[in-house]
Chain A
Amino acid sequence: MRKVYLDSNATTQVHPEVVKAMIPFYEEIYGNPSSVHGFGREAKKHLEKARGQVAELINAASPDEIIFTSGGTESDNFAIKASAYALKGKGTHIITSSVEHHAVLNTCKYLEKTGFRVTYLGVDEYGRIDPGELKNSISGDTTLITIMSANNETGTIMPISEIGKIASEKGVVFHTDSVQSVGKVPFDVQKNGIHLASLSAHKIYGPKGVGALYIRKGTEILQWQQGGHHEQGKRAGTENVPGIAGFGKACELANSQGLKECAGIKKLRDRLHKGIETNVKQIRLNGHPEERLPNTANISFDYLEGESIILSLDLEGIATSTGSACTSGSLEPSHVLESMGIEPLFAQGSVRFSLSIYNTEEDIDYVIEKLPPIIDRLRKMSPVYPGD
């Protein structure tokens, strides 16, 4: 059976060149970068090379502004807590959006329990915040804005350059969870007035368990993890050198060919959307039609529940995900779709297709062939389906 992986916003297959770049750090270059001897110095050299590769991809002013972490979730926790606490003397108000990843939302909720006030900005039907509303929400005690660059479920891109402008006008720190956008769309921390940005390796064909936090020079932030002097004293712990070397390579690839490849991915994504639109009635696209990651299409199949769709697709070898309450663990529907004002009934039937460089036209045509009968079968079973 054909296997088609369309869940690349969850994780990606590691690029063969990334794997190749990592192997020496398990076999030969196993030194601890903090050690004085040759083994350590060699590892250190590669650690710093990777730092440069990451910095270049996001146009950081200096590699020193990159602190390696264990991934996107840690970077979000680090950025938000360590800067909120550092700025506590100036104020305790944080602004975020209602469609953030749980790594951001739950960190904000945690801070609310410890004396911070958080404003959750709503979004329009496409999932974008209103910069005017953001501006009005800033008060004298606002210290931090944390708004994602692009949404993981819908792919909708936030107006980050406007947010960055407002933040610098008002003298507020701007953190962005850029896990989904880095490597898929041009992302420039300097141009967009970003102080803190969370990155993850495994969303861009790198290994799992590695990420980074970009910290613009001069940004007030506390030490995150206590211990030795690693990572400029900001995050203690022996660095994951193999993972970091892989992350560096993944960033280099994203920089040299990634954005070019994204044009091809977008073509496939649109072919998929069009194919579904022509062959299945009563569907709707969730997310912004244009201001959207090139690899993401979140589509609701009316009158259906998402788990039953992704299970059926899985039986055909096709991997996707859904915003249905039935698969959320908490049995609550997607907070993202809910914030966009999508009725629960239609949020239930949402399926996220997220593509990668590995997908082919044949993959897409296979999905377009397999999907309509699945939808048909399930709709016949649905007590709420009114017919065509």
Chain B
Amino acid sequence: MEEYSEKVMEHFKNPKNVGEIKDPSGRGKVGNPVCGDIMELYIKVENGTIVDAKFRTFGCGAAIATSSMLTEMAKGMTIEEAGKLSNQSIVDALGGLPKVKIHCSVLGVEALHKAIDDYNSKLS
């Protein structure tokens, strides 16, 4: 199999932001139609900025590393910035992903977008 980058393994071994946020500002849960995996993402928003993000993932090494990296990157971003976060930027931050694993990063971004939608819908 194609090897994972060091960065991916680092995040797989010691993932950041595992768990859930009580009373989150937004929550996104997505299932992956490709391989059947599931990702759950929570965000806490204060003054339009994501101050905390947490995840739970049922999935492969890439899915776990992506979730970890994604939550790290999202923290400190405004809702607007986070809404524009692309899966490619996460892949880049992870030092690349094997081709068959790109879809795992797409799932992560979808979870984030869903959490943002959830947050926005609560606002309105």
Contact = CB atoms under 8 A, between A and B. Distances in A.
A382 B34 contact: no
Contacts of B15: 381
B56 A308 contact: no
Given A303-B58, A383-B57, A329 B36 contact: no
Given A305-B37, A333-B36, A383 B56 contact: yes
Nearest to A307: B60
Nearest to B61: A311
B29 interface: yes
Interface in B96-113: 100, 103
A21 B64 CA distance: 47
9 contacts: A305-B59, A308-B59, A308-B61, A311-B4, A324-B35, A332-B35, A344-B36, A381-B18, A381-B64
B60 A345 contact: no
Interface in B24-79: 29, 34-40, 56-61, 63-64
Given A329-B100, A384-B58, A308 B35 contact: no
Interface of A: 303-305, 307-308, 311, 315, 324-327, 329, 331-333, 344-345, 348, 380-384
Contact of A326 (B12, B19, B59): B59
B100 A305 contact: no
B1 interface: yes
A307 B60 CA distance: 5
B106 to A, nearest CB: 13
Contacts of A332: 35
B12 A311 contact: yes
Q: Select the residue from A303, A331, A384 with max chain B CB neighbours within 10 A.
A: A331
B8 to A, nearest CB: 10
A308 to B, nearest CB: 6
A383 B40 contact: yes
Given A308-B64, A325-B35, A331-B35, A382 B58 contact: yes
A246 to B, nearest CB: 27
Contact of B29 (A307, A311, A382, A383): A383
A384 B13 CA distance: 20
